[in-house]
């Protein structure tokens, strides 16, 4: 199989990455519905809907803003505006979604934690999406720097690179298993599972960014890494409880 993987059916080239991106949203949401039906939700349906709406809007704006900050070049041409609307990143989507949820909960005066029910559907969605990113090769900015190590792969430009998207797929599978074990092995306070996911995923992304050929850096760090730091600061109480847990 060649990468980018672009099979041709009846004379038409299939955009596998786009298909998997849509599949990630659809399957992730269906998995959320399945979990919600099989678990007693302490949040009312009306409030849960408001929270989902807050997450959607927060994720939309967050993904675009952070996507722009990865390479902040200003232009007012129609082509650039269209490109800007298409720029997005899952990291901005996650953190923006988090802020959108918190804002929605303040508006509806919902005090209960709401993240645990979203944890595994989000991981599943990212997993599917990252498989699409890997198959897209260098057409998506999820590839790594050039390397001569055994980890290097030709992602479509004839250069051996770190397959960042594939690393993330492996990490998410491991994280899924760890969180499932934690969920079944101890009684967690509501919302803790989602916090663990955010902490470990953002920590992973902070580290893996050093393997990406980022061009816009501030003090040696990318905009994604600064977002990771912001997220870890946001969850500093949970991190301290993890570090000092006995």
Statement: residue 185 has pLDDT above 90: no
- Bridge pairing between strands 153-154 and 160-161: antiparallel
pLDDT at 150 over 80: yes
- Closest alpha carbon to 165 in 119, 204, 200, 193: 204
Distance CA 142, CA 214 (A): 11
CA distances from 72 to 2, 68, 75, 142, 198 (A): 32, 5, 10, 18, 25
% of the chain exceeding 90 in pLDDT: 33
Average pLDDT of 167-193?
Answer: 89
Q: What is the mean pLDDT of the chain?
A: 84
Read off the pLDDT of residues 52-63 as tens digits, 9 standing for 90 and up.
888 888 888 888
What's the full length of the chain, in residues? Answer: 246
Instruction: Provide mean pLDDT across the span 184-194.
Output: 81
Q: Considering only residues 24 and 111, tell me which one the structure prediction assigns the higher pLDDT.
A: 24
Under the banding of pLDDT at 50, 70 and 90, the label for residue 190 is confident
pLDDT at 186 over 90: no
Residue 3, pLDDT > 80, answer no
pTM assigned to the model: 0.89
- Dihedral (CA of 77, 61, 122, 33) sign: negative
Instruction: Please report how the helices 192-208 and 236-243 are oriented relative to each other, as an axis angle in degrees rounded to 10.
Output: 90
Question: pLDDT digits over 75-104, tens only?
Answer: 656 655 555 555 678 888 898 888 888 888
């Amino acid at each position: 199989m060649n990468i980018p993987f672009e099979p041709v059916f009846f004379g038409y080239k299939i955009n596998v990455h786009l298909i998997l991106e849509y599949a990630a949203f659809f399957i992730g949401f269906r998995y959320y519905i399945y979990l919600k039906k099989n678990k007693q939700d302490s949040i009312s349906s009306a409030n849960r809907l408001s929270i989902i709406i807050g997450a959607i809007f927060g994720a939309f704006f967050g993904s675009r803003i952070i996507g722009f900050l990865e390479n902040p070049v200003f232009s007012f041409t129609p082509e650039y505006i269209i490109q800007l609307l298409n720029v997005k990143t899952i990291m901005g989507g996650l953190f923006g979604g988090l802020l959108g949820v918190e804002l929605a909960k303040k508006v509806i005066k919902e005090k209960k934690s709401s993240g645990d029910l979203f944890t595994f559907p989000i991981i599943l969605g990212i997993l599917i999406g990252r498989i699409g990113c890997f198959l897209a090769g260098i057409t998506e900015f999820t590839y790594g720097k050039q390397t001569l190590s055994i980890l290097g792969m030709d992602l479509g430009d004839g250069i051996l690179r770190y397959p960042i998207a594939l690393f993330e797929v492996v990490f998410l599978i491991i994280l899924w298993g760890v969180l499932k074990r934690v969920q079944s092995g101890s009684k967690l306070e509501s919302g803790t599972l989602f916090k663990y996911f955010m902490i470990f995923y953002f920590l992973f992304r902070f580290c893996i960014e050093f393997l990406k050929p980022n061009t816009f850096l501030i003090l040696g760090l990318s905009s994604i890494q600064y977002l990771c730091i912001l997220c870890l600061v946001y969850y500093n109480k949970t991190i301290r409880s993890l570090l000092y847990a006995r």
